[in-house]
Each structure stands twice: as structure tokens, then as C-alpha cells.
């Protein structure tokens, strides 16, 4: 059967068409700059790459372009929309209600809408994508896959904040975590590589990119994760601050910064960009550091230090660690950053093999020495495939 996976953002629509259960990608594409006159759309198949630039002023127009590209007589991936048996959708926030992938119905759509205040930039376009797919494909299963779902197993001791209980009971302020599909995907893949059942592994998964998070996985279940109520908490990221003393916000507010100012600073002007003053891209900063840029070097060191701290704390949480996994754009490709992160951890049983580390760029494999007590993996993530698998499973059960 053919499964079409959608990931709808505030101004983009990403999609992949899979032949399941073979997991073969039949088409891979995106629509960029939805809402603008200078939008574009691209789709890749085994036959060709199609690219157009045109005004795409809203989501219905974006989905219409996707339809035309997929059905193109000469270069399209399908001959009819009826070939698509089900659609899977990435939904960023499921709140406390949705702990797994679910078949979309009216009640589920209302539920996604109800928790949209927890992810105001993500859930509304996710829901719009679901509704457009319903209109385009008619009465076929639509499956919502929640990015927070993997973290529903986190115990209350880890997800509650030390604030008045009414904030949790009435406002649902707690740790939710994100990147759940990525963390779950690589944890399951690590179990396969270790020759263990998926619920028999203890691993620490490091999803490192412009947005970064780290998760402690015990017996195959998430038991702690670095992101919290929002994706702002935790590691230093490309433009996000990560952990900081909340008193800083009160101090800056007294200095005249508005809540809007602070939101912008912490989410868009901090992290690697704020520390370096030049870039949020690790590759750029590594080049600058080699040329003597002290701020770039400091930004990289702080980025690595924060990850190393979390790895150490999660080793204490798990007690037994079968493996540490690097994934995401930086995790999969940044060999120098992986070396920075795991430097001087031999007393914790972690030893990186320099040569293996350098040769494992964007491909699956182990990069620890033979003497290392803890295995270290590079595992490319594939959130779209995770969604396709859940969609196929739920429509064939």
C-alpha cells in the first residue's frame, strides 16, 4: 500500500510517499514559503526532479501544487489519488491526552486544537495539513503521530516542575519533551544493532541540530528528556538559550525588556548565535574557531559542555547504559563535535575511536574503542519513516 506522510510547518509543507511495507520512498518533496508570491515546490522521484516557483498564498494552494506534481503524467509518482491508502501527519504537541499515534476523527481534531496554546507555531499548521489531506483524499485513514508521545512514559518525578501544584493542575505546566519520534526511532534501531529486544535497552539519545535535545531511555521507554513545556529548555541550541536561571528574565524585565523582547531574545538570538555573535551553524563556527575566533571556540565548547553534563546526569538516572546515540544534522555529521562532547570521559567507561568517528559521517555505525565499556553509535534519524510505519501498522491491524 502507498502511505503519504506530511509535515506541515508555519510556512512549509514537507511530504514523502512510501510503498509499504517495503519502506520504499516513491516521492520526496516540499513546498516552501507558503503565503508568499515567491513560493516554490520540489518533488523528487526515481524518474525526475520537478521544481516550480510560483505564488502559493495558502495551504489549499500548496496542497493543490502537491497534487499536480504527484499526478504529473510524465514524471509523477502516482496515476491517481486513489492509489494513496492512508496519510500520516506529524503533530508537534499532544499535551497529556495523546500518548501515541491515533486515527484522526472529529474528537481528535478538537483535542489537537485544545492543546494548540502549548505549541502555537506548530499545532495550527499541523491541523491545517490534516484537514487539507482529508479534503484532497476523501475517506481514507488519516493518522496523527505526536512528537511528544514517546515522552509520555516519563515519571512524575521527572516531568513535574517545583512550582505551585495549581500551575500543573489548572494550566498543565509540566515537562512534555519533543523530538520524540526521532528519539524513539534511533532507540529502536540501537536495540536492533545491540541484538536486544526494543524494551530491553538503556540508551542515551542525543538529537543534535539547530534544535537539540537529549533523552534517557530505560527499558525502551523515555524516562527523562531535556526539553520541557516548550523546546526552549535544555541544551544550548542554534538560536535558543537552553537552561538558564529564570531570575535573569526578571532582571531583564526590570531593565525594560518586554515579554515579547525576551521571547525573541531567548528563542531567536541566543544559543550558538548569541554566544558567537556571528552564526548558529556549527560548521561555520568550527571554521571560525580554526582561524582564531575566540567567541566561536567558546560557543562550541559551551555547546559540547552542556551535552556532556546531560549525558553524565542521565547515566546516573539510568544506572546501566548500553549505548550513547548521536543523531540529527550535527549528531550524524559532526565528528569534531562528537569528539568535543565525549572528550575525557574514559573514567565513565566512554572512549571514542578517533578514526571510526571521522569515517562515520551520516551513516550508521559504532565509533567507540574496543576498550570502551559503553557503546557509542551514529544513527541517522528518519522521522518520516517512523510516521509511515505507524500509519501502516494502524491501518493494517
How far does Cα 342 stand from its chain's mean position? 22
Strand 142-146 with 84-91, pairing:
parallel
How far does Cα 296 stand from its chain's mean position? 25
Q: Could you give the residue numbers annotated as active site?
A: 147
Q: What is the mean pLDDT of the chain?
A: 96
d(CA 315, CA 324): 10
- The confidence score (pLDDT) of residue 374 equals 97
> Per-residue pLDDT tens for 141-192?
999 999 999 999 999 999 999 999 999 999 999 999 999 999 999 999 999 9
Question: Helix (H, G, I), strand (E, B), or coil: what is residue 74?
Answer: coil
- The confidence score (pLDDT) of residue 185 equals 97
CA neighbor of 175 nearest in space, from 157, 188, 198: 157
d(CA 91, CA 142): 12
Q: List the beta bridge partners of residue 387.
A: none
Start-to-end CA span in the chain (Å): 14
- The confidence score (pLDDT) of residue 160 equals 98
The answer for residues whose C-beta is within 8 angstroms of residue 200's C-beta and 6 or more apart is 191, 219, 220
Instruction: Produce one character per residue of 80-92: b if its CB has 16 or more CB atoms within 10 Å, e if not.
Output: eeeebbbbbbbbb
- The confidence score (pLDDT) of residue 129 equals 95
Question: Helix (H, G, I), strand (E, B), or coil: what is residue 72?
Answer: coil
Domains of the chain in sequence order: 2-146 (3.30.420.40), 195-378 (3.30.420.40)
Please list the ranges in the chain whose pLDDT falls under 70: none
> Per-residue pLDDT tens for 360-395?
999 999 999 999 999 999 999 999 999 999 999 999
Q: Where are the alpha helices (DSSP H) in the chain?
A: 59-70, 106-114, 123-137, 156-159, 165-171, 180-194, 247-254, 259-268, 271-276, 282-290, 294-318, 328-333, 335-341, 354-359, 383-395
Strand 24-32 with 12-19, pairing:
antiparallel
Amino acid at each position: 500500500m502507498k502511505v503519504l506522510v506530511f509535515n506541515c510547518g508555519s510556512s512549509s509543507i514537507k511530504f514523502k510517499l512510501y510503498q509499504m511495507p517495503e519502506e520504499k520512498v516513491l516521492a520526496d518533496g516540499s513546498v516552501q514559503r507558503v503565503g508568499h508570491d515567491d513560493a516554490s515546490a520540489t518533488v523528487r522521484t526515481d524518474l525526475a526532479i520537478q521544481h516550480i516557483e510560483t505564488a502559493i498564498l495558502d495551504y489549499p494552494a500548496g496542497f493543490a501544487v502537491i497534487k499536480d506534481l504527484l499526478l504529473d503524467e510524465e514524471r509523477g509518482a502516482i496515476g491517481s489519488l486513489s492509489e494513496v491508502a492512508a496519510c500520516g501527519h506529524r503533530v508537534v504537541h499532544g499535551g497529556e491526552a495523546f500518548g501515541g499515534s491515533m486515527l484522526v476523527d472529529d474528537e481528535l481534531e478538537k483535542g489537537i486544537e485544545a492543546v494548540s496554546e502549548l505549541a502555537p507555531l506548530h499545532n495550527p499548521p499541523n491541523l491545517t495539513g490534516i484537514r487539507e489531506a482529508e479534503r484532497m483524499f476523501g475517506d481514507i485513514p488519516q493518522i496523527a503521530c505526536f512528537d511528544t508521545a514517546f515522552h509520555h512514559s516519563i515519571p512524575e518525578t521527572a516531568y513535574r516542575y517545583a512550582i505551585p501544584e495549581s500551575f500543573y493542575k489548572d494550566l498543565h505546566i509540566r515537562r512534555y519533551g519533543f523530538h520524540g519520534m526521532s528519539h524513539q526511532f534511533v532507540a529502536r534501531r540501537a536495540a536492533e544493532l545491540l541484538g536486544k529486544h526494543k524494551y530491553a535497552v538503556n540508551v542515551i539519545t542525543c538529537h543534535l541540530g539547530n534544535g537539540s535535545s537529549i533523552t534517557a531511555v530505560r527499558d525502551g521507554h523515555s524516562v527523562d528528556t531535556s526539553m520541557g513545556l516548550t523546546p526552549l529548555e535544555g541544551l544550548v541550541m542554534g538560536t535558543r538559550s537552553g537552561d538558564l536561571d529564570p531570575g535573569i528574565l526578571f532582571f531583564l524585565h526590570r531593565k525594560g525588556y518586554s515579554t515579547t523582547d525576551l521571547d525573541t531574545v531567548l528563542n531567536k538570538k541566543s544559543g550558538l548565535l548569541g554566544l558567537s555573535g556571528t552564526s548558529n551553524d556549527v560548521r561555520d563556527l568550527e571554521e571560525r574557531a580554526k582561524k582564531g575566533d575566540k567567541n566561536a571556540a567558546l560557543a562550541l565548547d559551551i555547546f559540547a559542555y552542556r551535552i556532556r553534563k546531560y549525558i553524565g546526569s542521565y547515566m546516573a538516572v539510568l544506572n546501566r547504559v548500553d549505548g550513547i546515540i548521536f543523531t540529527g544534522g550535527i549528531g550524524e555529521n559532526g565528528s569534531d563535535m562528537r569528539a568535543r562532547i565525549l572528550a575525557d570521559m574514559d573514567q565513565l567507561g566512554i572512549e571514542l575511536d578517533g578514526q571510526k568517528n571521522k569515517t562515520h559521517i551520516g551513516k550508521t555505525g559504532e565509533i567507540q574503542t574496543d576498550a570502551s565499556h559503553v557503546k557509542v553509535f551514529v544513527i541517522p534519524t528518519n522521522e518520516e519513516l517512523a510516521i509511515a510505519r505507524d500509519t501502516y501498522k494502524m491501518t493494517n491491524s
